[in-house]
């Protein structure tokens, strides 16, 4: 039995797909939400969920929260005399969800699909996979949270061609996804986000307002008092869902304070947070090359979207009221359950096809040149840009940078920084080259990225034909080396450079023939047309190539007709 898991920053959920469709599995307390909190007592007993959350105030030194934000890092959490990494703490939460599912379903559960923020990098995704393994789960797939939400909404009755924007604001992370639905195909066009913005940050705004309004210094608070104030700030924040005013009562030392805040006052203090939220929205629309007016529906996902200050902000920026048909706390888990059904090829969801994109740019390190002089090495050269629809293959050609260079080392990098050292190193490929003057030896570097998150990098020396390749499995892929190799062979059709594809070669050849047959201004027009098409082919964007090829063919058709008519007149 497969289960879907929404491993959240503040709350987690587990789901399954049964005869009645997707459903949330309640935990041992009968609740759908399990707080992502872990606590350990003096005897070494581990508590997860609501019990651990209650111990957070009384035993803060042995309780951990918000550890999802540290997934894939070296940060350690001290719980009493024991230390844990974020993936170990996450494994406790996952094990509790697994046990709840087994109790509810009445059978062993060994396989799971786990959701992560779209902007999690390779290390964070592998840490999530490791957490699942520590919990005794075979992680079938790591799925992006907005993608899971899109799957949940994609099963609803929608028009044939619809553009969605998924606004996913959880307890600790924020994601934006732009998707386009064609019949049974849903294509992810672009994703953007921030792993350090969430509902907890909106709670901290109120916490800061409480301190400021009552002239309390944070350094004067004990850890227990600090946590108690944060808890009360959370309750005050939730009060805005019922009224335009929310009051809070708390005690520091021997003094009791009572404070009332207006929604307008709270919203004013949240402006910096809301400004941070605006940036990924603008970036995703720009990357998807769509205008806000092109979006047919905006969907709110994540518990923090319940906040009036967030909903009013979303309504203002989008110019309409976003949809929230499915409980925003449960949408991702519902989508994960449907993904399980897709994996099991359930009849009712078999025809749903979802395309994904690369969340980060993939590239390599190069030496920059200006006016023929070497400037410096270590610059990042993108090969597959972020938000490129996958599966995809891209090829770039590079030359030697030094005289008598005997080898070329290709660093495989992931990230958006201009400098290579600031991006994530995934691996390396080294090939020998004949020692010749700088720039006279070249290599073709081909990156092929699969829907199962497998990256193949092939480096070929053009003068000798020597070729080396490496396959990097990402996002919790469970394929063996042989299975991954076979999968890459299936994608060989993608590795043919667009300029070498038969239909494009035919179009170029036809253009060359017409250029030789034409004279005067018409010849210049054909030259411009061919050069423009070659420039588009170089960028290796399938959609743009198809559009440009259509334009070039129509133009050449018209030119050839004109030349034939001219001959007849003659």
What DSSP designation does 161 have?
Answer: E
In-domain check, residue 91: yes
The residue among 22, 31, 196, 6 whose CA lies nearest residue 93 is 6
In-domain check, residue 418: yes
Q: What's the pLDDT at 195?
A: 81
In sign, the C-alpha dihedral spanning 386, 388, 391, 395 is: negative
CB neighbourhood size of 350 (10 A): 12
Q: Are residues 12 and 85 in the same domain?
A: yes
Q: Are residues 420 and 472 in the same domain?
A: yes
Contact by Cβ (8 Å): 162, 135: no
Domain boundary among 312, 340, 357: 357
Strand (E) or helix (H) holding 326: none
What DSSP designation does 107 have?
Answer: S
Q: Are residues 366 and 428 in the same domain?
A: yes
Q: Are residues 261 and 373 in the same domain?
A: no
Q: Are residues 53 and 127 in the same domain?
A: yes
Q: Are residues 65 and 145 in the same domain?
A: yes
CA distance 505 to 494: 16
CA distance 397 to 81: 54
Q: Are residues 375 and 424 in the same domain?
A: yes
CATH number at residue 432: 2.60.34.10
Q: What's the pLDDT at 570?
A: 45
Burial class of residue 144, CB neighbours in 10 A (0-12, 13-18, 19+):
buried
Write down how long the chain is: 570
- 277: three-class secondary structure by DSSP: helix
CA distance 384 to 382: 6
Q: Are residues 452 and 543 in the same domain?
A: no
Domain that holds residue 244: 199-271
CA distance 507 to 344: 43
Q: Are residues 406 and 432 in the same domain?
A: yes
In-domain check, residue 251: yes
Domain boundary among 471, 493, 515: 493
Q: Are residues 400 and 541 in the same domain?
A: no
In-domain check, residue 399: yes
Instruction: Quote the crossing angle between the two packed helices 502-517 and 542-569, to the nearest 10°.
Output: 30
Radius of gyration of the chain (CA): 28
pLDDT of the chain, 570 residues: tens digit per residue: 899 999 999 999 999 998 888 999 999 999 999 999 999 988 888 999 999 999 988 899 999 999 999 998 889 999 988 999 999 999 999 999 999 999 999 999 999 999 998 878 778 888 999 999 999 999 988 888 888 888 888 744 566 678 889 999 998 889 898 988 776 677 788 888 888 899 999 999 999 999 999 999 999 999 889 989 999 999 999 999 899 999 999 999 889 999 999 999 999 999 999 999 999 999 999 988 889 999 988 999 999 999 999 999 999 999 998 887 788 999 999 999 988 888 776 665 555 566 677 878 999 999 876 555 556 788 899 999 888 878 788 999 999 988 999 999 999 998 888 889 888 888 999 999 999 998 999 999 999 887 666 788 999 999 999 999 888 864 444 445 565 556 545 445 445 566 667 788 888 888 888 887 777 788 888 888 888 888 888 777 777 888 889 999 999 988 888 877 765 554
Domain boundary among 493, 509, 535: 493
Q: What's the pLDDT at 189?
A: 84
In-domain check, residue 421: yes
In-domain check, residue 111: yes
Q: Are residues 133 and 220 in the same domain?
A: no
CB neighbourhood size of 228 (10 A): 19
CA distance 56 to 37: 8
In-domain check, residue 8: yes
Pairing relationship of beta strands 467-473 and 424-432 according to DSSP bridges: unpaired
The residue among 6, 90, 25, 20 whose CA lies nearest residue 339 is 6
CA distance 554 to 229: 69
In-domain check, residue 321: no
- Measured over all CA atoms, what is the biggest interatomic distance in the chain, rounded to whole angstroms? 106
Q: Are residues 450 and 549 in the same domain?
A: no
Q: Measure Cα distances from 258 to 63, 72, 218, 346 in Å.
A: 28, 41, 18, 56
Burial class of residue 272, CB neighbours in 10 A (0-12, 13-18, 19+):
exposed
Q: What's the pLDDT at 92?
A: 95
Strand (E) or helix (H) holding 318: helix 308-318
Pairing relationship of beta strands 185-194 and 174-182 according to DSSP bridges: antiparallel
CB neighbourhood size of 108 (10 A): 10
Omega of the bond prior to 432 within 30 degrees of 0, cis? no
Global model pTM greater than 0.75: no
- Can you spell out the DSSP letters for 453-476? SEEEEEEEETTT--EEEEEEE-TT
- Residues 6 or more apart whose CB falls under 8 angstroms from that of 562 comprise 522
Total domain count, the chain = 4
List 455's β-bridge partners, or say none: 449, 472
CATH number at residue 82: 3.30.420.40
Contact by Cβ (8 Å): 338, 17: yes
The residue among 32, 31, 8, 30 whose CA lies nearest residue 326 is 32
- Can you spell out the DSSP letters for 487-500? HHHHTGGGGS-GGG
What DSSP designation does 479 have?
Answer: -
Backbone φ and ψ for 493, nearest 5 degrees, come out as -65, -25
Q: What's the pLDDT at 457?
A: 93
The residue among 362, 365, 305 whose CA lies nearest residue 329 is 305
Q: What's the pLDDT at 325?
A: 79
Cα atoms in the Cβ-side hemisphere of radius 13 Å centred on 298: 23
């Amino acid at each position: 039995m497969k289960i879907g898991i929404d491993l959240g920053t503040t709350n987690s959920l587990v789901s399954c797909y049964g005869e009645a469709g997707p459903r949330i599995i309640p935990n041992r307390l009968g609740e759908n939400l399990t707080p992502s909190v872990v606590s350990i007592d003096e005897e070494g007993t581990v508590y997860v969920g609501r019990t651990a959350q209650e111990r957070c105030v009384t035993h803060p030194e042995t309780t951990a929260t918000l550890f999802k934000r540290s997934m894939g890092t070296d940060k350690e959490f001290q719980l009493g005399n024991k230390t844990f990494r974020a993936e170990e703490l996450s494994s406790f939460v996952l094990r509790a969800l697994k046990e709840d599912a087994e109790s509810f379903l009445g059978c062993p559960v060994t396989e799971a699909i786990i959701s992560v923020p779209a902007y999690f990098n390779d290390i964070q995704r592998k840490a999530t996979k490791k957490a699942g393994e520590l919990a005794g789960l075979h992680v079938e797939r790591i799925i992006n949270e907005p993608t899971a939400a899109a799957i949940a909404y994609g099963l609803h009755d929608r028009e044939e061609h619809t553009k969605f924007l998924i606004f996913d604001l959880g307890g600790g992370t924020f994601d934006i996804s732009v998707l386009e639905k064609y019949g049974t195909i849903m294509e992810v066009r672009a994703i953007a986000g921030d792993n350090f913005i969430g509902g907890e940050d909106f709670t901290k705004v109120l916490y800061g307002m409480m301190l400021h309004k009552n002239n309390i210094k944070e350094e004067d608070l004990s850890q227990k008092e600090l946590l108690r104030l944060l808890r009360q700030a959370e309750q005050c924040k939730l009060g805005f869902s019922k009224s335009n005013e929310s009051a809070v009562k708390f005690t520091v030392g021997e003094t009791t304070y009572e404070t009332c805040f207006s929604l307008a006052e709270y919203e004013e203090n949240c402006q910096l947070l809301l400004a941070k939220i605006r940036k990924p929205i603008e970036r995703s629309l720009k990357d998807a090359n769509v205008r806000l007016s092109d979006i047919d529906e905006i969907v709110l996902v994540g518990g923090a979207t319940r906040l009036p200050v967030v909903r009013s902000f979303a309504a203002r920026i989008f110019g309409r009221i976003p949809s929230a048909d499915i409980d925003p706390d449960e949408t991702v888990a519902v989508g994960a359950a449907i993904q399980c059904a897709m994996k099991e090829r359930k009849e009712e969801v078999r025809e749903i096809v979802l395309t994904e994109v690369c969340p980060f740019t993939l590239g390599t390190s190069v030496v920059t040149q200006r006016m023929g002089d070497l400037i410096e090495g270590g610059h990042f050269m993108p090969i597959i840009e972020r938000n490129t629809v996958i599966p995809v293959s891209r090829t770039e050609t590079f030359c030697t940078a030094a005289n008598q260079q005997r080898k070329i080392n290709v660093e495989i990098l992931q990230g958006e920084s201009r400098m290579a050292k600031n991006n994530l190193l995934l691996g390396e490929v080294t090939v020998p080259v004949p020692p010749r003057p700088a720039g006279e030896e070249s290599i073709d570097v081909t990156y092929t990225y699969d829907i199962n998150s497998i990256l193949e990098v092939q480096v070929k020396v053009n003068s000798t034909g020597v070729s080396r390749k490496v396959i990097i499995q990402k996002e919790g892929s469970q394929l063996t080396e042989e299975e991954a190799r076979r999968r890459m062979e299936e994608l060989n059709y993608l590795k043919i450079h667009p300029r070498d594809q038969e239909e494009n070669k035919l179009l170029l050849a036809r253009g060359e023939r017409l250029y030789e047959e034409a004279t005067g201004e018409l010849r210049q027009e054909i030259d411009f047309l061919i050069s423009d098409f070659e420039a588009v082919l170089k960028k290796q964007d399938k959609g743009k190539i198809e559009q440009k090829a259509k334009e070039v063919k129509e133009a050449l058709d018209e030119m050839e007709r004109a030349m034939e008519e001219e001959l007849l007149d003659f």
